[in-house]
Structure 1
């Protein structure tokens, strides 16, 4: 497709990025730590980590990893935690050791965690104690040899650290009992690592930085292999798009989405690292009142989130009274931004909520609306060094105004799925085109509008839910004969999971189905709606017609 979108680019945004500015993510990291040593890099629970402190602590973490027997360059290290100061220390420590980060959702159930650790071949895991009981159930059946545990307040200075950890564990009782005999404490790791030598291996664009897990057509979570080159590309693309009005060493971004999610990892952690900016880490954004209370302390300049997050803030007392005078942009992604939310956001904050689009397999950004533009119902324009193509089922390139599957090519597109060549071949062509599974149309100005999803994936508050996975769980529930899962519109989460069940046992209830799912699925995957039918609509060969259920 001709790059019609280039004529709509804002002034100062280049058509192509400079891939050679950085040799690896560590190059970005080291340059920022050298330029901004005393600037705050991350803040959480009232404690701030400067770039110099992040440099020292991540170095200690890396040295400790290198001292572990059998760990070499390319070893996979899982990180299982919400937004805490420990996260960037571990993240950059893993990369500095020449190893690969495997981000893990801390809300995973035991079967989900076991699958991911086995699939990635993770030999080390860093886990917050709150979730150690889940790990305890499965660790013996995984390749994990080394467990590093941390408490919520471990990087807060004493005596507040002791108070936070006591309240979390003893008062709020948020830490289920656990025992993993060979576990080592995070602060012990930093103390030991500080006394050890570090040999940072040379890294190139081709080295793997992340194995970032996502679902797929089979419903089995699989790891997108994202190289240092992929991540640098997307960092450079995003910075080129939003960076014109941003100042080095003076920006503060609200980081409420989890850093283990690819959106926040790139847009917040990495882009603002390059800028010498501050990430304001929100550990529990579901506590909206606490979230708003935290925002009162800051003159933040940017915020990222999903539609449900912005909508939740708008409905929280005190949000309207915040000082938005320093804000330069708010960026919505992960799921479609609703017009009602965007309009209300503009009214309350005085700044537009711009919509972006991406996917894990593209590190993630593909399209973004121009900063400062009004809500238009599109996902924006393809970002620099990105090609898009609208294609039909015969893989023919369609023109402007024609509807088809959105395909993407650019330096941010993954190398493939980890150890899954068949799955990779289904979405990634030999010449680098990624099939997104989304149906889209491009207008004459180059703006892209998503009209439908070719895949059956459901997006709940920005997280992917795959019907086959949920169906597999529900089908195992006693009393279920058949089932099918679809997404239905939901004002709060964008979409909700609905399961249609044919009973085997007349005694089966909605609550029994939900309770069974709660034992086997992460919260956002649990069906919100259970409907019973006598039969499911099917094709002549017996395939369930989900579109009819929708």
Structure 2
């Protein structure tokens, strides 16, 4: 019996469309039939290494055929895919390897040094697979050799709709947390909102099989949930998915031109601005492109308008959603961060709840928190406290509290004001102030630090630090070097404001409003 399960649905699509191209990345491609066989090989190879159903499989990879194959293979053998941010430095990787409890890791050989340094510290990490040729990591298997010795047939055990899919995203301490989804829930939560989701698994396969050739592109890295979900969504439409190994605006446009892409997804201004710059300086054949969709980060009105002027025949769309909430709403025409964001919910399971977790009355002007029920995650991996706080039960129904502050207009649209926390979204990457503050305060020359986000023309927000020094001889360059040794580059403050005394509440809490104003006046 076919289930609401990524592996079952993919195998059904592969059987129905074996000769249609499933994936293209930088000129390399596989049909659905070829990808199915390659994923089977990887699945059998992983089983041979000792990977079992429920084990966590890490993927520290750039975009490529190998990443796509690994996602399919993990689902086939009921392993749990875990995305590893390839920007992470050793301290961050040590946390993630341990927190996610990965037992196996696929990694690009570019990351040999980091993997070699951190993998021995990960208690459960027993199997390493290097992608890209010879590796210097002790004990690691070479990907191509491993697959060459494995069977390309299926022959895997039965699956369940309770099998898990985990996507790591930012957590309250600044380090990422694994969002746990049941396969059926994540399929429906991220279903394409442009048509009703079929009621049976076979219906999903039939829909893909009946679809004409369509070429879609996910511009973001597959280490982000947005790109992974775009991949599956595309396949359930029978589409060919296009990726580029690394983001570079001209390279993206060349791929769109070369592969005749019809629809693409990006993550906000950080990608949209350089892509608009490239459109103004180069010429591309975009005659096949009809939809340009942003999700997962702010797309400002000015940038959207700029893209619209450069591509008058292409729909520019802004989507609202998250790793926890799925695809939830579409920005209303004329809506923008500058004018006020207004979204039309995709499904009736979206609401705005007040402090008592009761629905905000439309048109009341009351502010609450955007919430979703129905198809929502199981919770956060290994964090019962955060799970209970984020997924409360109200009158017998579980809700997800997104942390987005909003109100409901009389017509049912949702006006979103911003995050309820101090999270900084810089170019689609989540930065939590507490993590950066802790790193700064670990420098011997720093007495106190508060980190906030301030506006940035390209990235939406940039990280800024207000610092009270212990040693007046400590320079901005000293702090930059210190942070870069412990944090990914996107988390490192780009603006510093040095103050003689930090402003905090009597309870010791930071005054983030004051910090933001101080940083903006530098």
Question: Is TM (by shorter chain) over 0.5?
Answer: yes
CA distance, structure 2, for counterparts of residue 256 and residue 452 of structure 1? 25
What is the match of residue 64 of structure 1? 45
Q: Deviations over 1:493-542 (max 9, x none)?
A: 01100011100111111111111111111111111111111112111222
Per-residue deviation, 1:28: 1.6
Which consecutive aligned stretches of 4+ in structure 1 deviate over 6 angstroms post-superposition?
none
What is the match of residue 479 of structure 2? 513
Is 1:194 paired with 2:151?
yes
Moved more, 491-500 or 180-189: 180-189
TM-score after normalising by structure 2: 0.90
CA distance, structure 2, for counterparts of residue 241 and residue 444 of structure 1? 25
What is the match of residue 204 of structure 1? 160
Q: How does 1:436-475 map to 2 (within 5 A)?
A: 436-475=402-441
Per-residue deviation, 1:31: 1.6
CA distance, structure 1, for counterparts of residue 439 and residue 196 of structure 2? 42
Where 2:180 maps in the other structure, the secondary structure is strand
What is the match of residue 532 of structure 1? 498
Per-residue deviation, 1:257: 0.2
CA distance, structure 1, for counterparts of residue 182 and residue 223 of structure 2? 16
Q: Deviations over 1:360-392 (max 9, x none)?
A: 112x3121247xx565553522213x4223233
The answer (yes or no) to whether the contact 1:355–1:380 under 8 Å persists in 2 is: no
1:380 alignment partner, one of 338, 343, 347: 343
What is the match of residue 138 of structure 1? 118
What is the match of residue 274 of structure 1? 236
What is the match of residue 390 of structure 2? 427
Per-residue deviation, 1:216: 2.4
What is the match of residue 11 of structure 2? 30
What is the match of residue 61 of structure 2? 81
Alpha-carbon spacing, 1:319–1:403, altered in 2? closer, same or farther (3 Å): farther
Alpha-carbon spacing, 1:510–1:242, altered in 2? closer, same or farther (3 Å): farther
Where 2:195 maps in the other structure, the secondary structure is helix
CA distance, structure 1, for counterparts of residue 24 and residue 392 of structure 2? 42
TM-score after normalising by structure 1: 0.86
Aligned residues: 497
Q: How does 1:120-159 map to 2 (within 5 A)?
A: 120-142=100-122, 143-151=124-132
Is 1:225 paired with 2:180?
yes
The answer (yes or no) to whether the contact 2:214–2:239 under 8 Å persists in 1 is: yes
The answer (yes or no) to whether the contact 1:292–1:318 under 8 Å persists in 2 is: no
CA distance, structure 2, for counterparts of residue 423 and residue 150 of structure 1? 35
Alpha-carbon spacing, 1:374–1:538, altered in 2? closer, same or farther (3 Å): closer
What is the match of residue 111 of structure 1? 91
**Greater RCO, CA 8 A, separation 6+:** 1
Is 1:337 paired with 2:293?
no
2:221 alignment partner, one of 240, 250, 258: 258
CA distance, structure 2, for counterparts of residue 240 and residue 204 of structure 1? 26
CA distance, structure 1, for counterparts of residue 19 and residue 83 of structure 2? 28
Is 1:55 paired with 2:24?
no
The answer (yes or no) to whether the contact 2:406–2:418 under 8 Å persists in 1 is: yes
Per-residue deviation, 1:338: 0.5
Alpha-carbon spacing, 1:547–1:42, altered in 2? closer, same or farther (3 Å): same
Where 2:410 maps in the other structure, the secondary structure is coil
What is the match of residue 96 of structure 1? 76
CA distance, structure 2, for counterparts of residue 241 and residue 547 of structure 1? 43
What is the match of residue 22 of structure 2? 41
What is the match of residue 302 of structure 1? 263
Unaligned runs of 5+ in 2: 199-206, 517-522
CA distance, structure 2, for counterparts of residue 443 and residue 242 of structure 1? 27
Alpha-carbon RMSD across the aligned residues, in angstroms, is: 2.3
CA distance, structure 1, for counterparts of residue 403 and residue 368 of structure 2? 6
